[in-house]
Amino acid sequence: MSYDKRDRIEIIKSMHRLVLAMNDEEAYMAWVYCIPDGADDAELEDIALHDEEIFRDACNLFNRLVKGYACKSGYCVSNRSGTNSKVYGVLGGERNADRTV
């Protein structure tokens, strides 16, 4: 499967946002080992367009994290102020968050 440049950028940004929303600190720590902590859009675009090895590693890691953590812990979604957070399970439903993002 081949992706054009825009697709690669959107893929890495989407994976990054989803991992940051995972309700699991271990998943986050694994992700920042591959993708720099606090990576901004410019850094993510640089990875998507110029570093095939990190992009491929990030895709493989994302798949493992979704299987290992998101399915277990869900995603934490909050409003901009960080209050009233909800955790959404991958299989549906919501519960009050035990942490905010």
Separation between Cα atoms, residue 90 and residue 92, nearest integer Å: 5
Residue 9 sits in which domain range? Answer: 5-73
Residue 45 resides in a domain: yes
pLDDT attached to residue 95: 45
pLDDT attached to residue 76: 59
Residue 21 resides in a domain: yes
Residue 94 resides in a domain: no
* Entry pTM: 0.72
Which parts of the chain have pLDDT scores under 70? 1-3, 70-101
Residue 81 resides in a domain: no
Separation between Cα atoms, residue 48 and residue 8, nearest integer Å: 5
pLDDT attached to residue 21: 83
Residue 18 resides in a domain: yes
Residue 91 resides in a domain: no
pLDDT attached to residue 61: 95
Domain count along the chain: 1
Residue 55 resides in a domain: yes
